[in-house]
Copies of this chain bind each other. A is one copy, B any other.
Amino acid sequence: MKIDDAAARLEALGNPTRLKIYRALVRAGDNGLSVGRLQTRLDVAASTLSHHLKTLLVVGLITQERQATTLICRANYGLMQGLIEFLVDECCVETICAPAPSKMPSQSAIVVLKGKGTSR
């Protein structure tokens, strides 16, 4: 993942309204949620919701599938995992070549995550 793509995706998630939308879709799983269902759940103007959905769609964080007049939205899990891996990979790579052998306290948290990177 390129850094500008990653930034665009993080920015898309970095708005409270859009993050709520995204989380609702993550919770919904593969069933997804229609735009209208999202609107009543999150109590936001239809045009505002549509605007935010487009933002999430453009960066690939969600997908949409039309079922007659309703649009089903779903979170794109694979892309989320790619984003997470982008955030944690390359962690501390420069530390190896540097002195500072003594204290390395806060590293465990990331190591735990790094060890888990399966599908890339």
Contacts and interface: CB of A to CB of B under 8 A. Distances in A.
Copy number in this complex?
2
Interface in A44-73: none
A119 B93 CA distance: 23
Interface in A72-120: 76-78, 80-81, 84, 87-88, 90-95, 98, 100, 103-110, 112-113, 115-116, 118-119
Interface residues of A, number: 52
Contacts of A23: 3, 90
22 contacts: A3-B20, A7-B15, A7-B19, A9-B14, A10-B10, A10-B11, A10-B13, A10-B19, A11-B15, A27-B91, A28-B94, A30-B100, A30-B105, A76-B106, A77-B91, A77-B106, A77-B109, A78-B106, A80-B87, A80-B88, A80-B109, A116-B116
Given A4-B16, A11-B11, A27-B91, 18 more contacts: A3-B19, A6-B19, A10-B10, A11-B15, A13-B87, A23-B90, A26-B88, A26-B92, A27-B90, A30-B107, A31-B94, A77-B91, A77-B109, A80-B87, A80-B109, A81-B110, A112-B118, A113-B116
